[in-house]
Amino acid sequence: MQTERVERATKASRIAAVAIVPFLAVLASLPWWGDSGDMRLVGEMAYYLALAQLWNLLAGYAGLASVGQQAYVGLGGYAFFYMTGVLNINVYPAFILAGLFAGLMSIPVSFAVFRLRGAYFAIGTWVVSEVFALSASLITVMGGGAGTSLTPAILREISANRSSRETIIYFATLASSIIVCAVVYFLLRSRHGLALTAIRDSEPASASLGVNTFRTKLLIYVATAACTGLIGGLIFLQKLRISPEAGFSLNDWTVVVIFMVVIGGIGTIEGPFVGLIVYFVLREFLADYGSIYLIFMGALAIGVMLLAPAGIWGFVLQRYGLQLFPIQRRLVVVS
């Protein structure tokens, strides 16, 4: 008798699942063999990976090509600094609250920007971010346009010792990045993920088959805003200082992230990993030539968009069917 079962894992994904353990172990042991510069670099890669996964979820799956995600990085950062510095809330709950605050703020924002479609949605989200940046520069208790720093008292709350503090922040960043990736992964495997993948492939078709596209998009918008806010708090804990310009920077928190996702492969979980590596390799190699690496990234993104819109990983997927994070369901016939 012939039966079928639904399978997700592939050979490549099983290998990847095993290989990820020693890889994470190497990253987790970094504080014992690397210096604080290494930790900062890997920490930066970790939060960029999280931002890239979140933007990919928004633009690659839900079709919400936002160029205003810096709004939530800034809001998370500002909320974190405000709660620890002004309201004297302990650092750890402040993180969670900063994320929740960013998520909460995204709800009224969605009322305005969800009225816009396509590229107009993109610039609309950007305007909203500008509004937040200008508003932040009006808050005198946060230093106005000049910004504010974390006080030593808050840092002592984490640890009185500088190197152990750096280690704790490193672990927090690493853990948050892993959590965000896991959230994205499990979300895409869930019922909502199926709806999202359908929306990615064809919005009218998915709507006609009963997917509530508006509610799914709203859910994703709010969820990514909350996660982006959480990462924002961490980023500025690492930087120790926030200003409207740094917090709501289009270039730092959105442009770079978009290039990573596009080059790596939009609409795949593996893409942001590939784009992350391309970005950091380019940046480290061209570090002596000012902003040339950004010109390279821009040109590369244009080239990818015109010649291979699915990005580097999309090419690999098409050619070899390689999938490291199994989110697809496949029907396997067993006799």
Partner 1 sequence: MEWLNILIQGCLLGGIYALFAIGLSLSFGIMRLVNIAHGDLIILSAYAALVVTQQTGLDPISSLVIVVPVMFGLGYAVQRGLLNFTLTGGLLPPLLVTFGISIIIQNGLLQVFGAYTRRLQEGAIETASLQLPGGISVGVYPLIVFVVALVSVGSLQLLFYRTGIGRAFRAVSDDADTAELMGIDNRKLYALALGIAMIFTAIAGVLFAIRTIFDPSSGPIRLILAFEAVIIGGLGNIWGTLAGGVLLGVSQAIGAALSPTWQILAGHIAFLIVLIVRPSGLFPRTRD
**Interface positions with partner 1 (CB under 8 A):** 59, 63, 65, 67, 111-112, 115-120, 122-124, 126-128, 130-131, 134-135, 137-138, 250-251, 255, 258-259, 262, 266, 290-292, 294-295, 297-299, 301-302, 305-306, 309
Q: At closest approach, how far in Å is the CB of 309 from partner 1?
A: 6
Q: Which is nearer to partner 1, 59 or 158 (CB)?
A: 59
Q: What are 184's two structure tokens?
A: 């994205």
Collapsed DSSP state (helix, strand, coil) of residue 88 = coil
Q: Give the C-alpha distances (Å, rounded to integers) separating 309 from 2, 232, 238, 304, 313.
A: 40, 29, 35, 6, 10
Q: At closest approach, how far in Å is the CB of 147 from partner 1?
A: 15
Q: At closest approach, how far in Å is the CB of 65 from partner 1?
A: 6
Q: At closest approach, how far in Å is the CB of 271 from partner 1?
A: 13
Q: Which is nearer to partner 1, 177 or 249 (CB)?
A: 249
Q: At closest approach, how far in Å is the CB of 105 from partner 1?
A: 14
- Which letter does DSSP use for residue 7 in this model? E
Q: How many CA atoms lie within 13 A of 100 on its CB side?
A: 6
Helices (H), the chain: 11-28, 30-33, 36-55, 70-85, 91-113, 118-136, 152-158, 162-189, 191-201, 203-208, 213-239, 244-247, 250, 256-264, 270-285, 292-307, 311-320
Q: What are 71's two structure tokens?
A: 């709004």
Instruction: Name the burial class of residue 197, with classes exposed (0-12), middle (13-18) and buried (19+) by CB atoms within 10 angstroms of its CB.
Output: middle
Collapsed DSSP state (helix, strand, coil) of residue 86 = coil
Q: Which is nearer to partner 1, 157 or 245 (CB)?
A: 245
Q: DSSP string of 125-144?
A: HHHHHHHHHHHHTT-GGGTG
Q: Which is nearer to partner 1, 134 or 182 (CB)?
A: 134
Q: At closest approach, how far in Å is the CB of 3 from partner 1?
A: 39
Q: Which residues, 6 or more positions from 176, have their beta carbon under 8 angstroms from its beta carbon? A: 46, 47, 50, 230, 231, 234
Q: At closest approach, how far in Å is the CB of 275 from partner 1?
A: 13
Q: Which is nearer to partner 1, 19 or 107 (CB)?
A: 107
Neighbours of 266 (CB within 10 A): 25
Q: At closest approach, how far in Å is the CB of 279 from partner 1?
A: 13
Cβ burial 159-171 (10 Å sphere, 16+ → b, else e): eeeeeebbbbbbb
Q: Containing H/E element for 269?
A: none
Q: Which is nearer to partner 1, 158 or 256 (CB)?
A: 256
Q: Which is nearer to partner 1, 89 or 294 (CB)?
A: 294
Q: Which is nearer to partner 1, 259 or 273 (CB)?
A: 259
